C-alpha cells in the first residue's frame, strides 16, 4: 500500500474551544482561526457569559481579534446557572446570537463556580431548549467528593446523562470531551436517537494518565476531564477513527498562563490549538484510518448541528522528519502559554497556502 503523504479535506470545525478574553484571546485565537472555519466558543469567562447580551458583546470582541483576511465564524454559547432565564435563551437563539447552551456542574472545571448545582434546578430551561431545538453542551462530570476523580465522567453518565435522555428525549445533547470507555459505549448505545453526540479532544486521543507523571508531576498535561487509563484512550481512539457520525472533533484547547500551570493547585487545561490538526492526523494515520479523517474533522459535526459543510478546503501533509513544535506564545501582557504536546514528535502539518 502506498503511504499517504497529503490529504485535502473540507476546512474543519472545532466544536469545543476556549479562547478566554482580551490579551489572551488576541494571542491564541489566530491559531484556531487559520485552521478551522468555525468554532463553538465556551462561555466560562470571569464573569461568565450568561445572557444573550453577554454573548453578543463577547462575539464582537472575538470578531475584532480575528486576523485580517481570515474567514472564521465564532459560534457563541450561554453559561447555564440555576437562575438562567429561558426566555432570554430563546430570544438569543432565534436571533442567531446563541448557538447552544453550556452546562457546567458547579465546581467541575475552570470558572465553573457559577454553574448548575442540581440538574432539577434547570428543568424548565431544558424543556425550553428541547422545544426550540437549541443544543445542550455538557461538561460531563459529577463533583461529588466521594466519587473517585478518575470516575467522575462515568458516574455522570449513569447519574445525570441517562436521566436527561429519559426526561428530554428530543433534546439535542453533546457530551463534550469524552474520555472514558464507559461514555463512548453509552453514546454508541444511543446512536439510534440521533439526539446524542460526543466531541473528542486531541489530548484524550494521544495520551493516557501516565503522561501526568512524565519526569515528575507534569502540569501541562493536566486537563479536565483528567487523562484516563490506556483502555479508555483506546476506546476513544476507536470511536474517533470508526467513522461513526456521532463523534467529531472538539479540541477543548484551553490556554492558561505558564504561571497558572506551574504552581500549587495548577489550572486544568491544555492549549492545543497550534498542534490539534497535526495530532488528529497522526492518530488517524497510526490507526490506518486517514480515509475517515474528513468525516471526523469536517462532516460529522456539521451534520449533527444541521449546518452546511464548509466550502473552503485545507491540506495536511506528512513530513519526512518530525515537526518542530511551537515555542511558548507570549501575550501582550507578557504571559507565556505552553503549547501541547510536550516532547511528542509529530509528522503531519497543515500545508502552507
Examine residue 224 and state whether it is found in any structural domain, yes or no.
yes
How confident is the model at residue 322, as a pLDDT? 85
- What is the C-alpha to C-alpha distance for residues 305 and 295, in angstroms, rounded to an integer? 14
Q: How far apart are CA 234 and CA 241, in angstroms?
A: 10
| pLDDT reading at 295 higher than 70 | yes
Average pLDDT over residues 332-339: 96
Tell me the per-residue pLDDT of 145-191, one tens digit each, with 9 for 90 and over: 999 999 999 999 999 999 999 999 999 999 999 999 999 999 999 99
pLDDT at 39: 98
Q: What is the pLDDT of residue 119?
A: 93
Is 88 an active-site residue?
A: no
pLDDT tens sequence across 225-273: 999 999 999 999 999 999 999 999 999 999 999 999 999 999 999 999 9
pLDDT at res. 343: 67
Is residue 344 very low, low, confident or very high in pLDDT (cuts 50, 70, 90)?
A: confident
The answer, yes or no, to whether residue 90 has pLDDT greater than 60, is yes
Q: Copy the grid coordinates of residue 274.
A: 497550534
Q: Does residue 88 sit within a domain?
A: yes
Distance of CA 140 to the CA centre of its chain: 12
- The total domain count for the chain is 1
**Strands across the sheet containing 6-10:** 6-10, 313-318, 348-350
pLDDT, one tens digit per residue, over 107-154 is 888 888 899 999 999 999 999 999 999 999 999 999 999 999 999 999
Dihedral pair phi/psi, residue 43, rounded to 5° = -100, 10
- Rounded to the nearest integer, the mean pLDDT of the chain is 95
Average pLDDT of span 14-31: 98
Residue 342 pLDDT class (50, 70, 90 cuts): low
As beta bridge partners, residue 38 has 13, 73
**Catalytic annotation, pick one of 54, 252, 285, 335:** 252
Element (H, E) at 121: none
Q: What is the CATH number of the domain that holds 329?
A: 3.20.20.140
What mean pLDDT is predicted for residues 325-351? 89
| pTM of this structure | 0.97
Q: Residue 201's pLDDT is what?
A: 98
- Find the domain containing 183 and state its range: 6-350
Is position 1 within any domain? no
Nearest in space to 7 (alpha carbons), one of 216, 281, 307: 281
Pairing, β 348-350 against β 336-337? unpaired
Q: Give the pLDDT confidence score for residue 353 in this predicted structure.
A: 60
CB 339 within 8 A of CB 272: yes
On whether residue 167 sits in a domain, the answer given is: yes
299-309 per-position pLDDT tens digit:
999 999 999 99
Backbone angles phi, psi at 285, to 5 degrees: -65, -45
For residue 53, is it within any domain?
yes
pLDDT at 320: 86
Mean predicted confidence (pLDDT) in 34-54: 97
Amino acid at each position: 500500500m502506498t503511504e499517504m503523504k497529503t490529504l485535502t479535506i473540507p476546512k474543519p470545525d472545532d466544536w469545543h474551544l476556549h479562547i478566554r478574553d482580551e490579551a489572551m484571546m488576541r494571542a491564541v485565537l489566530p491559531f484556531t482561526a487559520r485552521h478551522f472555519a468555525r468554532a463553538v466558543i465556551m462561555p466560562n469567562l470571569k464573569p461568565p457569559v450568561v445572557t444573550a447580551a453577554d454573548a453578543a458583546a463577547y462575539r464582537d470582541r472575538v470578531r475584532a481579534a480575528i486576523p485580517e483576511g481570515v474567514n472564521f465564524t465564532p459560534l457563541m454559547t450561554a453559561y447555564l446557572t440555576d437562575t438562567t432565564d429561558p426566555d432570554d435563551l430563546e430570544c438569543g437563539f432565534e436571533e442567531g446570537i446563541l448557538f447552544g447552551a453550556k452546562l457546567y456542574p458547579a465546581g467541575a472545571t475552570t470558572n465553573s463556580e457559577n454553574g448548575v448545582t442540581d440538574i432539577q434546578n434547570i428543568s424548565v430551561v431544558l424543556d425550553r431548549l428541547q422545544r426550540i431545538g437549541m443544543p445542550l453542551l455538557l461538561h460531563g462530570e459529577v463533583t461529588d467528593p466521594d466519587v473517585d476523580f478518575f470516575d467522575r465522567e462515568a458516574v455522570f453518565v449513569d447519574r445525570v446523562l441517562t436521566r436527561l435522555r429519559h426526561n428530554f428525549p428530543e433534546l439535542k445533547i453533546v457530551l463534550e470531551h469524552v474520555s472514558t470507555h464507559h461514555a463512548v459505549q453509552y453514546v454508541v448505545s444511543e446512536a439510534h436517537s440521533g439526539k446524542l453526540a460526543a466531541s473528542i479532544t486531541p489530548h484524550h486521543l494521544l495520551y493516557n494518565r501516565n503522561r501526568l507523571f512524565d519526569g515528575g508531576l507534569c502540569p501541562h498535561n493536566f486537563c479536565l476531564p483528567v487523562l484516563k487509563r490506556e483502555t479508555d484512550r483506546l476506546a476513544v481512539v476507536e470511536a474517533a477513527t470508526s467513522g461513526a457520525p456521532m463523534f467529531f472533533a472538539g479540541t477543548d484547547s484551553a490556554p492558561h498562563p505558564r504561571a497558572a500551570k506551574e504552581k500549587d493547585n495548577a489550572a486544568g487545561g491544555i492549549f492545543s490549538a497550534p498542534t490539534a490538526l497535526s495530532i488528529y492526523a497522526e492518530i488517524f494515520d497510526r490507526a490506518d484510518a486517514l480515509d475517515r479523517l474528513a468525516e471526523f474533522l469536517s462532516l460529522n459535526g456539521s451534520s449533527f448541528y444541521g449546518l452546511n459543510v464548509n466550502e473552503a478546503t485545507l491540506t495536511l501533509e506528512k513530513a519526512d522528519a518530525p515537526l518542530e513544535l511551537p515555542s511558548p506564545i507570549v501575550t501582550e501582557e507578557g504571559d507565556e502559554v505552553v503549547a501541547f504536546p510536550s516532547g511528542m514528535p509529530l509528522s503531519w502539518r497543515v500545508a502552507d497556502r
